[in-house]
Amino acid sequence: NVDIDIKSEVAWSTVQNIAAQTSTVTGSAVDLHQYIGRVALVQQVGTVSGTTPTLDGKIQDSADGSTGWADVSGATFSTQVTASNNQQVIGVDVRSTKRYIRYVGTIGGTTPSFQVGVILAGQKQYN
């Protein structure tokens, strides 16, 4: 066995804090300047309630982190979430996005509630 300490090379960012969401949620801008190559985005859903609840998650990008947000091609969580305890991962190449990204979770259904959070993991740039 070989042990490798990657803590100093992998950076984590919260894209969307874990919280109960009852309507479409738009996360805060995350600056990708410290990352290189591909990053992994993990959408984690805990408890889901309501009548026919649906959640469709995607990633958008922007050059300045406040305007011009657009969907990132291929950065949509592939399965619509309709039940509790769901986790999905997508990869995004930071070289093909603008500097900032954010999470958008479109929620539908009658009195829906989703416990949802999104994290990002990727390799740090060397200084």
Predicted pLDDT at 124: 82
**Average pLDDT, integer, range 20-44:** 94
Q: Tens of pLDDT along 77-119? A: 999 999 999 999 999 999 999 999 999 999 999 999 999 999 9
User: Are 35 and 114 in contact, with CB atoms under 8 Å apart?
Assistant: no
34 vs 77, more confident: 77
Q: Which residue has the tokens 């859903």?
A: 45
Query: C-alpha angle with apex 113: 79 to 39, nearest 5 degrees?
Result: 45
- Helix (H, G, I), strand (E, B), or coil: what is residue 77? coil
pTM of the model: 0.89
C-alpha to C-alpha distance for 87 and 79, rounded to whole angstroms: 10
What does residue 23 show for φ and ψ, rounded to 5 degrees?
Answer: -150, 170
**Average pLDDT, integer, range 58-78:** 97
